[in-house]
Chains A and B, each alone.
Chain A
Amino acid sequence: MAYEAVIGLEIHVQLNCDTKMFCDCPNRPGDRPNINTCPICLWMPGAIPQFSRNALEHAALTAMALNCTIQPESAFDQKVYYYPDLPKGFQLSQHHKPLARNGWLDITGEDGSPRHLRIHHVHMEEDVAKLVHETEGRTKISLVDFNRAGSPLVEIVTEPDMRSAYDAMEFLRILRRQIRYAGTAECSMDSGTMRCDANISIRPVGSSEMNTKVEVKNMNSVRAVGSAIDHEILRQTEELDAGRPIVLHTRLWDPDKNITTPMRGKFAGPCVPDPSVPAIVLTEEWVANIGSQLPEMPAQKQARFVSEYGLLDDEAAQMSAELDVAEYFEALAKQSIQPRTAAQWVASRLIPALREKGQQMAETTVTPERLATLLRMIEQDKITAKAARQVFDLMLDSDQSPESIVEEHGFSQIGESDELAAMLDSVLAEHADAVENYRNGKTEAAGFLVGQVMRVSKGKANPKLLREMLEARLAG
């Protein structure tokens, strides 16, 4: 039987606030273990959580970047469970009254069609402590690091609108882009600042029923989410085809073996309202004020890049995909560089170079100002585009100005000069047959002759000028 998958995601995002969610400790989980702690985040007797305004603002901005509606009233609940990473016996989370509801993201499906994927709600919660398992030595021990305890998180819960691994991966990429634009979180699955669990069920194609779902956890990259979903769809299909029913449970993705394995039965604890954290009542003014802090988002930016800079649609999409790329592109275009040239250089030279070096946009020595200087030298016919690419590669590893690199390495273009004329003369003498062909109407021979001069000039000749000179000479 042909099945289709029904997929929903639960995504935890660690907000990049300066402090934790319920105390003033630094929100730096990676520091030396247990340095960023106080009686509140150690959950000592007598401590009372003090909800951070900054965490609320970050969470609200995040939810708004995902097109959610901020709720006028939300509240914290105690999610009760007992585990060594949670020595208070409950996690403060928003179960009954989440901060925001009814969001959505638009993606382009694998077949190129637009897909509108809904977000059920976004709620705030505190992170728990981190367990470090020491398995070497005679006695296995687990150490508890409270630096992460109380870190501000939002959890994004989608509707089951996704139908494929592709949908899910694309959703995650768009979600990450939106949040990075909002500037509220790093969203790196690699470093754990974004974590994703997938709920997957399958049903016969055409059916609208919701079947028993299986939750899959422990994916540490967007790609792994896709692989885990693909694997789980296959597994469930095989189960059903073999006549075995799907049982509600949780599975762990094993990235080394590319399989999912069942997890020990998860204990689902209750959620009761927390009496110590006051309800969060937000006025329309407050929400509007936070909304005004939302920067121009990717879709708007893309449209503006088309209208303001005359980029083609896919160029504009590429330039607006990431905030740092967009900012770089605009900075470059503002240096009076032809915008499409700027976009092409960013897309085809800068981004691949950074990827190869493992650098972020902010880390490169090729600032928009330096790149603009280089590109202006092409526009002014001082160097050829080919030479410029070589200069660019050298700029990646030095602070030297493009001009001095050109000078030092002799990349200057050979303009209308006796030198160029001499090169042309010797090529024409050497290839009398090609000259003959050209004169007999085979104009493609001109390209060959220009190429020969370029070779002799080691690429420094100006091809446009050369062609004019050639045509003038042969017309004579």
Chain B
Amino acid sequence: MPVSDTLGVSVVNEDTFSFLNPASHAPAPEGPLADSQIAVQANLCVQGWPANAGSRALENFTALEDATVVERLHSAGASIAGFTRTSELAFGLDGDTSAAAVASSACDAALVTDTIGESRVAAAQARLFGFKPTAGTISRYGLIGLVPSMECLGVVARDVTTIAGILRAISGPDERDFSLGGEFPDFSAPDAATDTKTIAVIPQSLAGLDPEERDAFESALVVLRKAGARTTEAPVEDYDLLRTVHQAIGSTEASSSAGKYDSVRYGHRAAKADDWNEMYLKSREESFGPLVKSFLFQGAYFQFENYSAFENACRIRRRLVEALNKVLSESGLIALPTRKKNVPSDPAESVSQVYDRFALTLAANVAGLPAISVPGFVKADGEDLGLQLVASRLQDNRLLGYAARIATMHRGDL
């Protein structure tokens, strides 16, 4: 069921959740998130739950322990509502019900793995807030990930306060995840950043928009200017390469990450095979859907046949990250829409289609920057495209503060 069709309709839990917390009605303990119901995708380990990451490759896998963020949500008093339905290995949004679960008030927020823009695009589609934190600030221990250098747990919620509250609980150092950076955003003062911003618009980032989408985005900028922001154009050379960079590095990392799905200890196993090698091949062939399969094939191509292209992508990535950081050091924020309109609701047929659908969000993943999608600003054809704001590394709290302020202001405007 396409997510956009479910808006405003009370969704039956069985359609939204692949697994419901059997203990969800237990009284919530004390804590800043007491009484909160938070949905997670099936790629986040909750001890004893069928964390199959939406893939046959993890069929029958039961999580051995809680992910760090699950532990932290529990100790903050939140209850995990259940596993939402999840696209295969949580890549893209095909069949994902996280935003629907929030929109239908089945939960207060959903954690959505943001690898290419999932938390922001899902939020924009459902007229919610979707936030991807700075890479390396949320523990990935217990996250059944696919693209370690791009993915980060994001939060989809109906308001910024809820998002900030969850981040306060889950962000921070974790001795089980050494890949975290040494610095973390300060979420202690939720509305600190209400000062006027200079907002940069990167012309190349708007290249794929049609005139109507451009107009919609322009009117959003007008509103922001009215609210006191100064907008400025900031060209970034080779911005269009972000997509190729994401795809080359993302698919390569995915190929490695998914290498462990060999059907031996869990996961679907082919009925018959002559030896272990054939068992691997057949089981993997039967386990992965066509989209993940072609993504993994692409990654294997870079790994086995064209490593220099991968190295080039890494080099270009460093250059683009520098360029984006430079823009952000001069202006506090970058603005662009979160998605295009008329995105088909049926599953993507190819990796290229996935990249089409997330063309506006993947920059923040490539550069590890915090980004939020704010509803209500960019409207075209009656669809909310989402206003996406991107900030410098570790400026998560300022970004949330600004988003909260304009959201309030805009609500007054309506």
Contact surface of A with B, Cβ cutoff 8 Å: 39, 43-51, 78, 80, 82, 84, 87-90, 269-270, 272-278
* With known contacts A82-B259, A272-B252, A87–B148 Cβ distance under 8 A: no
Q: With A and B bound together, what is the CA distance between A78 and B303 in angstroms?
A: 10
B178 and A89 contact, CB distance less than 8 A = no
A89 and B148 contact, CB distance less than 8 A = no
B53 and A45 contact, CB distance less than 8 A = yes
Q: With A and B bound together, what is the CA distance between A49 and B179 in angstroms?
A: 9
Q: With A and B bound together, what is the CA distance between A39 and B280 in angstroms?
A: 21
Q: Which residue in A46, A80, A84, A270 is a CB contact (below 8 Å) of B63?
A: A46
Q: Please give me the 4 A-B residue pairs with the lowest Cβ-Cβ distance, nearest first.
A: A89-B259, A275-B148, A275-B149, A270-B303
Q: With A and B bound together, what is the CA distance between A463 and B364 in angstroms?
A: 93
Per-position binary interface string of chain B over residues 60-77, scored 1 when its CB falls under 8 Å from any chain A CB and 0 otherwise: 010111010000000000
A87 and B264 contact, CB distance less than 8 A = yes
7 chain-A/chain-B pairs, Cβ below 8 angstroms: A45-B58, A46-B67, A80-B256, A82-B280, A90-B259, A269-B304, A276-B148
Q: Which chain B residue shows the least CB distance to A49?
A: B178
Q: With A and B bound together, what is the CA distance between A51 and B176 in angstroms?
A: 10
B95 at the A/B interface (Cβ < 8 Å)? Answer: no
Interface hits, B254-285 → A, CB 8 Å: 255-256, 258-260, 262, 264-265, 276-277, 280
Q: Which chain A residue shows the least CB distance to B310?
A: A272
B51 and A39 contact, CB distance less than 8 A = no
* A44 neighbours in B (Cβ, 8 Å): 64
B307 and A48 contact, CB distance less than 8 A = no
A272 and B179 contact, CB distance less than 8 A = no
* With known contacts A45-B51, A48-B176, A88–B141 Cβ distance under 8 A: no
Q: Which of A47, A48, A89, A276 has the most CB of B within 10 A?
A: A48
Query: Mostly helix, strand, loop or mixed at chain B's interface?
Result: loop
Q: How far is the CB of B81 from chain A (nearest CB, A)?
A: 20
* B142 neighbours in A (Cβ, 8 Å): 46
Q: Which chain B residue shows the least CB distance to A43?
A: B260
B65 and A39 contact, CB distance less than 8 A = yes
B177 at the A/B interface (Cβ < 8 Å)? Answer: yes
A48 and B256 contact, CB distance less than 8 A = no
Q: With A and B bound together, what is the CA distance between A46 and B62 in angstroms?
A: 11
A45 and B61 contact, CB distance less than 8 A = yes
* With known contacts A48-B176, A270-B304, A272-B310, A78–B256 Cβ distance under 8 A: yes
* A47 neighbours in B (Cβ, 8 Å): 141
* B53 neighbours in A (Cβ, 8 Å): 45
* B314 neighbours in A (Cβ, 8 Å): 273
Q: With A and B bound together, what is the CA distance between A39 and B66 in angstroms?
A: 12
Per-position binary interface string of chain B over residues 165-178, scored 1 when its CB falls under 8 Å from any chain A CB and 0 otherwise: 00000000001111
Q: Which residue in A87, A274, A278 is a CB contact (below 8 Å) of B265?
A: A87
Contact surface of B with A, Cβ cutoff 8 Å: 44-45, 51, 53, 58, 61, 63-65, 67, 140-145, 148-149, 175-179, 252-253, 255-256, 258-260, 262, 264-265, 276-277, 280, 303-304, 307, 310, 314
Q: Which chain A residue shows the least CB distance to B253?
A: A275
Q: With A and B bound together, what is the CA distance between A45 and B253 in angstroms?
A: 15
Q: Which of A87, A269, A276 has the most CB of B within 10 A?
A: A276
What is the count of residue pairs linking A and B with beta-carbon distances less than 8 angstroms? 84
Q: With A and B bound together, what is the CA distance between A293 and B118 in angstroms?
A: 50
Q: How far is the CB of B95 from chain A (nearest CB, A)?
A: 20
Q: With A and B bound together, what is the CA distance between A80 and B304 in angstroms?
A: 9
A48 and B304 contact, CB distance less than 8 A = no
Q: Which chain A residue shows the least CB distance to B180?
A: A278
Q: With A and B bound together, what is the CA distance between A454 and B3 in angstroms?
A: 108
* A90 neighbours in B (Cβ, 8 Å): 256, 259
* With known contacts A82-B262, A84-B276, A48–B303 Cβ distance under 8 A: no
* A80 neighbours in B (Cβ, 8 Å): 255-256, 259, 303-304
* With known contacts A39-B64, A272-B303, A89–B149 Cβ distance under 8 A: no
* A39 neighbours in B (Cβ, 8 Å): 64-65
A275 and B259 contact, CB distance less than 8 A = no
Q: With A and B bound together, what is the CA distance between A47 and B65 in angstroms?
A: 10
Q: How far is the CB of B48 from chain A (nearest CB, A)?
A: 14
Q: How far is the CB of B245 from chain A (nearest CB, A)?
A: 14
Q: How far is the CB of B147 from chain A (nearest CB, A)?
A: 8
Q: With A and B bound together, what is the CA distance between A275 and B260 in angstroms?
A: 16
A270 and B64 contact, CB distance less than 8 A = no
* A50 neighbours in B (Cβ, 8 Å): 175-178
Q: With A and B bound together, what is the CA distance between A274 and B148 in angstroms?
A: 9
B259 and A48 contact, CB distance less than 8 A = no
A46 and B178 contact, CB distance less than 8 A = no
Q: Which chain A residue shows the least CB distance to B65?
A: A39
- Excluding A45-B144, A278-B178, 16 further A-B contacts by CB distance (< 8 Å) are A39-B65, A45-B45, A46-B67, A46-B142, A46-B144, A46-B145, A48-B176, A49-B178, A50-B178, A78-B256, A87-B260, A89-B262, A90-B256, A274-B256, A276-B179, A277-B178
A51 and B264 contact, CB distance less than 8 A = no
Q: Which residue in A51, A84, A88, A278 is a CB contact (below 8 Å) of B259?
A: A88
Q: With A and B bound together, what is the CA distance between A82 and B67 in angstroms?
A: 27
* A89 neighbours in B (Cβ, 8 Å): 256, 258-260, 262
Q: How far is the CB of B66 from chain A (nearest CB, A)?
A: 10
Q: Which chain B residue shows the least CB distance to A144?
A: B264
Q: With A and B bound together, what is the CA distance between A80 and B178 in angstroms?
A: 22
